[in-house]
Amino acid sequence: MSNDESPSPASHDDAAAEPHLEQTPAPGGEAPTLTETVPAAAEPVDPPTPSRSIWTRIDRPFVFGFLLTLGGLGAIVIGLAISSLSTVLIYIALALFGALGLDPAVRFLERRGLSRAIAVVITILALIVVFALVLWMVIPIVIDQITSFVKSVPGMIQDFTRTDLYATLNAQFGDQFQDLVGEVQKFLSDFGNLATIGGGALAVGASIATGISGAIVVLVLTLYFLATLPAMKQGLLRLAPARDRARAADISEQITDSVGGYVMGMVILAFCNATLALILYTVLGLPFPPLMATIAFCVTLIPLVGSVLFWIIGTGLALFTDPIAALIFAAIYLVYMQVEAYVLTPRVMNRAVAVPGSLVVIGALAGGTLLGLLGALVAVPVTASILIIIKQVVVPKQDARL
């Protein structure tokens, strides 16, 4: 082997592993002796113990059980607090919903050169004036007609017993149908039963007072939310990372536009339903047109199923007065529902996000079950907002994955 060849790594390992001789000087000047030195073997190193979270330790069961119990108690306290604040949360949700619904009107005035403060004041004053006019025109009539309805129940039942429909049902079911009609007449003729349904006179008065105070709170909160809506948006956008704020701002604008368009559209469609009910009941000579118009406005605010519910209610009440007029009302209102579904709704809801009909039904049922009428009203805009977030955030992330 030549001199410039370097030893292989194996030779180094072998040399390191072999023992070597060292000279040890002997005492007294004698010749040094050779001693064999063996290198010490390397000590084994234990692998590091993996760190464990406190939730996976079983060597301290008392601490684990205490923390688990404390977390459960904290969750129960938070749930009780939310339950106690449910009325306040409903007021806040209604006010925010109303502010988003009035925001398109404020923007319309801003585009005409007015400042946002003046636009908000004009919008709120117009809302108060319209609300006061409706109450001034409707409430006395509704109270008077409810009283007239209770007093006219016996006459309506007697008129119903003279119709061909009653004769047909009586021939089909016999005495059972007569007993049923008698019980209905007895129940509706007693005003105490109606008070019992509402929880008694004291409960009805307390409910009216609570409703008035709640309406005032919601109106005040709506005013504050409407005035500070841009600042609220900017404050919430500051919570997002700086690189995502432009995208978050675009998504928030889409959500607020869809909610505002939906609220304004539902109010317009409900007003159309109430106007049609008032005209039909007046022209056909059916009783209590203002009362039925008020019921139509409130019921048709419910998305998708509100018109069908009022069609059933209006036709059913008209049957007790005039079956022929009831059939005419049912036919005309059925035609109107088709026009509303295929002509009015697409034109009025052009700014709202389109939501599939199946999701509308599911959302309305879920919202109505959880929050009653409020849940049914906010189901569609909430569903639309979720769809916007899925389309703008979730779907692009999934498309970017390979």
Quick check: pTM over 0.75? no
Return the residue matching tokens 């599911």. Answer: 362
Rounded average pLDDT over 254-275 = 83
- Decide if 177 is inside a domain: no
Token digits of residue 166: 């009653």
- Decide if 273 is inside a domain: yes
- What number of other Cβ atoms are within 10 A of residue 260's Cβ? 23
Answer for the pair 116, 110: CB distance below 8 angstroms, yes or no: yes
Express each pLDDT in 115-159 by its tens digit. Answer: 888 888 888 888 888 778 777 766 777 677 667 766 666 676 667
Residue 299: pLDDT over 90:
no
- Decide if 312 is inside a domain: yes
- Decide if 34 is inside a domain: no
Express each pLDDT in 315-363 by its tens digit. Answer: 888 888 888 888 999 999 999 988 887 888 777 765 555 666 667 667 7
pLDDT value of position 200: 47
φ, ψ (nearest 5 deg) of residue 26: -85, 150
DSSP readout, 157-204? Answer: HHHHHTSHHHHHHHHHHTHHHHHHHHHHHHHHH-HHHHHHHTTHHHHH
Share of the chain above pLDDT 70, in %: 66
Separation between Cα atoms, residue 251 and residue 230, nearest integer Å: 14
- Decide if 107 is inside a domain: no
Q: Cα dist. 95→88, 214, 289 in Å?
A: 11, 11, 31
- Decide if 75 is inside a domain: no
Give SS3 for 22: strand
- Decide if 281 is inside a domain: yes
Q: What is the number of domains present in the chain?
A: 1
Using pLDDT thresholds of 50, 70 and 90, give the confidence band for residue 228.
Answer: confident
Q: Cα dist. 216→94, 133, 220 in Å?
A: 12, 16, 6
Residue 41: pLDDT over 90:
no
- Decide if 251 is inside a domain: yes
Geometric angle at alpha carbon 94, from 90 and 96, rounded to 5°: 115
Q: In a 10 Å sphere around its CB, with 0-12 CB exposed, 13-18 middle and 19+ buried, how is residue 304 labelled? A: middle
Express each pLDDT in 172-218 by its tens digit. Answer: 776 666 667 666 666 655 555 555 544 444 454 556 667 677 778 88
Q: Which domain holds residue 337?
A: 244-397
Separation between Cα atoms, residue 185 and residue 320, nearest integer Å: 12
